Amino acid sequence: MAKTAKETPMMQQYNAIKEQYPDAFLFYRLGDFYELFNDDAIKGAQILELTLTTRNKNAENPIPMCGVPHHAAQNYIDILVDKGYKVAIVEQMEDPKQAEGMVKRDVVQLVTPGTKFGTQADAKENNYITALTQTPQCFGLAYADLSTGEEKVTTLMESEEVFNEILNLQTKEVVVDSSVDSEITEKLAKLGILISHQAAAITPQAEVSFLTQTITDTTQLQVASQLVSYLTLTQKRSLAHLQEFVVYEPMRFLKMDHNSRYNLELTQNIRTGKKQGTLLWLLDETKTAMGGRMLKQWLDRPLLTQSSIVKRQMIVAGLLENYFERTAIQNDLVKVYDLERLVGRVAFGSVNGRDLIQLKTSLEQVPKLRATLKTLPGDVFGPLVELLDPVHEVTELIATAINEEPPLSITEGGIIADGYSEQLDQYRDVMKNGKQWLAELEAHEREVTGINGLKIGYNRVFGYFIEVTKANIAKLDADRYERKQTLTNAERFSTPELKEREALILEAQDKSTELEYRLFVEVREVIKTMISRLQALAQGIAELDVLQSFAVVAETYHFVQPTFTTDANLAIIDGRHPVVEKVLGRQDYVPNDILMSPDNSIMLITGPNMSGKSTYMRQLALIVILAQVGSFVPATAATLPIFDQIFTRIGAADDLISGDSTFMVEMGEANNALKHATPASLILFDELGRGTATYDGMALAQAIIEYVHQNVHAKTLFSTHYHELTELAEELPGLKNMHVGAIEQDGDLVFVHKMEDGPADQSYGINVAKLAGMPDALLTRAEVILKHLEQQGSATTLMQVTNHDEVVVEKPVVAESIATTVQQPDDNATDLQLDLFADTTVDPKQQAIIDELKEMNLAMMTPLDALNKLFALQQKL
């Protein structure tokens, strides 16, 4: 019968630590393994695909357990953290051989989604952790990348700004205090972001004071301190690489909300969620991880100051004009490793010998980069040269102290170079001579005994030994050879001479290994004092890398340098969508001009689906963004104003998080633009109003166009299938009609993808349906209906149509305003919607269901609500 096991001291220790970290997986170190127990083991075994076993299996309640080897633990930790979990790493705090009783253990680090160090696979991605606090007036938001030391803080006024900033940062973890509204934390959690709570009051720390010394705003100081305290609490080690907080204001950069970035596919492909097919993908010719991260940061925050933009442009132009020097710079950059994260590991205490060799190799490229930049004409490269501090002291220290080919481990010797320490060299001499002595002893023993197979070996348990096969044991002098170990086919012995030399060799090995580790730590601490210089150097190299990437892209894809104007004149000649052009090939892409004078604020675009309207609109936004990050642009010439914000409403999708329908999402994004846009903004509205009934959509579209024209005055591209809206050009002097050319050949539609003045003469909807492969019978029927409608003078209002009936229509009037368009129909007017359900022979029970269907307002229903309602009606039928 199973016995109830009393809780052992070890499990008491484990449970005590687990109580402090209830929301984390506890990786509890036992010898060469990290073990998980109880619920952690059950859940961990499933996620990590480990074998679940039990401790005290004969007890009434055996303890579930599973484990991973300590040397492979990082892979398992990464899997858990990537899935949104926390992992508390529990280490032995003393040598088990010297422990009195239970070995002391404690958590040495709490790894969370926001504090995970970047891996090689995501070297060009930042991993931000964000902190949030709230006051009655505003929000304080701070973020940091623990692996690079970057820290920034700001103040935001509205919750929508908070969500946009967090989504744009792609942060995986937000640290909140008790002031943050639960609605905000719940919405963040729905987005898959881990919410961590500030457990205790923030205690003053010297480290916090140093990092926040430039902050004067109380809310910003609170949230910055909150973030640093959380990092200190979870990491439990030196964070000397954390940089002073930089206070920033989102409005000092070209502002784009998360939806606009998403619609424009700046860094994430809408269809795949990957980098490929995005503007970042096109621009990324960087050679270093630091440059890749900076490029993404620049795309996230284009500039507003013309002088700053022009400085970048001048460097790009200089690199573009000097091919050989640019090639030399690229060749040197390829040899530069991730300085920011190497420095982070130095501060963190996790750096190894190979990391330091990478650091040295990187620093050795800096003098060469400086020399090349100095040969370039002009003075625009001077500030960049100044940023490239070679930090000679670190290069010389590593070259002197660290072996050129060090082992991965820093505790097992072989890491310090010969000649760096006299004491270490002496130990090595003893070991070297000892090995020579052992080789000579082995030869001597073979000669004396006549045993050719005799050999001298070593293992950690028995030390040095003489091994002889059992067939040759009779040849040994029993008085001189002392048996140490018996194997299946051999015996192991020692001799007085071997014992004496063994003691000397092992002492030298132990002491040399201990000394090497101590010397390595000293080297690491010296490098730690140079962290700020190394971080500044990393920024300079990253900036040079991004600018040479711009030059490569400009040369490869024939980009030109844009100029800027202050009179709201916009002139792009032969502009292209850079990503579409790269995918299609330049020979197949049709360029288009975009011309908008100071008096022309709205361009109304008509034309068939698939003709390129959306591409044309996105193309303008991407050209603006490229210009304001300092890049050249895809055109033969470009003159642009500097825009302060970009707003987009492109594509049709429900908001599954909030439950809003497509139409509600459309109206929300449109409202955001109308509320916040200025005359210096860019608005892109693609088929706004299509998510509701025809007249409602047309009325709203016209009202929005009028509002933008009369109140906002922002540069606006508005594509539509409501051809009636083109008549607004007669009333609104700032509106210009444009259309995408298409021709019909033998009944087939051919897109020319060229923008032309004036409105489109027809929508070609049936032709597009034919291209999509619709059934011929359906297309034929659609043409019959269309001809009837055209005969009656209307292509927008459809009445009751059957195969044998004449078409009855009501000629619509172009909406002059919402008030004149959305009105109650006359009692004698024909119904404005196709009566899909009219049938005098319908069963009364079925008629009730039809009536219920008629009353449903689909535009205000979420997809889930509509599906549930449809299912309920189906059950009634």
Across 257-266, 290-299, 444-453, 477-486, the highest mean pLDDT is recorded for 290-299
Among 331-340, 601-610, 673-682, which stretch is predicted with the lowest mean pLDDT? 601-610
- 563-774 and 123-251 share a CATH fold: no
Q: Is 689 assigned to a binding site?
A: no
Distant-in-sequence contacts of 141-146, Cβ < 8 A, 24+ apart: 141/165, 141/166, 141/223, 142/220, 142/223, 142/224, 142/226, 142/227, 142/245, 143/169, 143/171, 143/227, 144/227, 144/228, 144/231, 144/242, 146/114, 146/115, 146/116, 146/117, 146/231, 146/235, 146/239, 146/344
Which range among 145-149, 487-491, 700-704, 840-844 shows the weakest confidence by mean pLDDT? Answer: 840-844
Q: Could you give the dihedral angle defined by the CA atoms of residues 324, 330, 336 and 337, in that order, rounded to the nearest 10 degrees?
A: -170
To the question of whether residue 610 is assigned a binding role by annotation, the answer is yes
Confidence bin at 657 (pLDDT 50/70/90): very low
Using pLDDT thresholds of 50, 70 and 90, give the confidence band for residue 692: low
pLDDT at position 237 is: 84
Give residue 503's pLDDT.
79
pLDDT greater than 70 at residue 77: yes
pLDDT, position 60: 74
Check whether domain 9-111 has CATH 3.40.50.261, yes or no:
no
| Residues 455-463, mean pLDDT to the nearest whole number | 85
Strands ordered across the beta sheet of 53-55: 53-55, 63-69, 33-37, 24-30, 86-92, 105-111
Could you say which DSSP state residue 710 is in?
I
Q: Which amino acid is at 353?
A: G
Q: Percentage of residues in the chain with pLDDT exceeding 70? A: 84
Q: Which amino acid is at 630?
A: G
Residue corresponding to tokens 């036992």: 30
Q: Does the annotation flag 614 for ligand binding?
A: yes
- 259 annotated to a ligand binding site: no
Residue 826 reports pLDDT greater than 60: no
Mean pLDDT, range 298-317, rounded to an integer: 96
Q: Reply yes or no on whether the pLDDT at 255 is more than 90.
A: yes
**764 SS3 class:** coil
**Closest among 520, 476, 501 to 356, alpha carbons compared:** 520
What is the bridge-based pairing of β-strands 63-69 and 33-37? antiparallel
pLDDT value of residue 282: 96
Check residue 495 and report its DSSP letter.
Answer: -
| pLDDT attached to residue 752 | 67
Question: The domain 123-251 belongs to what CATH superfamily?
Answer: MutS, connector domain (3.30.420.110)
pLDDT for 476-532, tens place per residue?
888 889 888 889 889 999 988 888 788 788 778 888 889 999 999 999 999 999 999
Task: Report percent pLDDT > 90 for the chain.
Answer: 55
Model confidence at 625, pLDDT cuts 50, 70, 90, reads very high
The amino acid occupying position 399 is A
Annotated binding residue at 452?
no
Quote the pLDDT of residue 842.
62
The string of pLDDT tens digits covering residues 9-48 is 899 999 999 999 999 999 999 988 999 999 999 999 999 9
Q: Residue 768's pLDDT is what?
A: 63
Give me the mean pLDDT over the 425-437 stretch: 82
327's enclosing H/E stretch is helix 323-333
- Which pLDDT belongs to residue 761? 65
For the chain, how big is the Rg over CA atoms in Å? 36
Mean confidence (pLDDT) of the chain: 85
Answer yes or no: is 844 a known binding residue. Answer: no
The answer to whether 194 and 171 have CB atoms below 8 angstroms apart is no
Specify the pLDDT at position 662: 65
Least confident of 201-210, 261-270, 391-400, 594-603: 201-210
How much is the pLDDT for 589? Answer: 86
Token pair of 717 as six digits: 């591209």
Domain 422-518 top-level CATH class: mainly alpha
Which residue intervals of 450-577 are DSSP H helices? 496-528, 531-557
HSE-up of residue 344 (Cα within 13 Å, Cβ side):
22
pLDDT digits (tens, 9 = 90+) for 736-750: 999 887 666 665 666
pLDDT of residue 633: 98
Kindly report, residue by residue over 778-810, the tens digit of the pLDDT.
767 777 766 776 666 544 444 444 444 443 433
Is 613 marked as a binding-site residue?
Answer: yes
φ, ψ of residue 683 in degrees (nearest 5): -120, 135
Q: Measure the CA–CA gap between 390 and 7, rounded to whole angstroms.
A: 59
The torsion defined by the Cα of 775, 780, 781 and 783, in degrees rounded to 10, comes to 130
Pick the CATH number of 284-391+530-557 from 3.40.50.720, 2.30.29.30, 1.10.1420.10, 1.10.260.40: 1.10.1420.10
At 689, the pLDDT band (50, 70, 90 cuts) reads low
Q: What is the pLDDT of residue 776?
A: 72
8 Å CB contact between 230 and 131: yes
For the residues 182-198, what does the mean pLDDT come to?
A: 91
CA distances from 441 to 182, 449, 482, 564 (A): 77, 12, 16, 84
Does 611 belong to an annotated binding site? yes
Domain spans, the chain: 9-111, 123-251, 284-391+530-557, 422-518, 563-774
Name the token pair of 784.
Answer: 């019959």
- Residue recorded with tokens 């050949």: 745
The CATH architecture annotation of domain 563-774 reads: 3-Layer(aba) Sandwich (3.40)
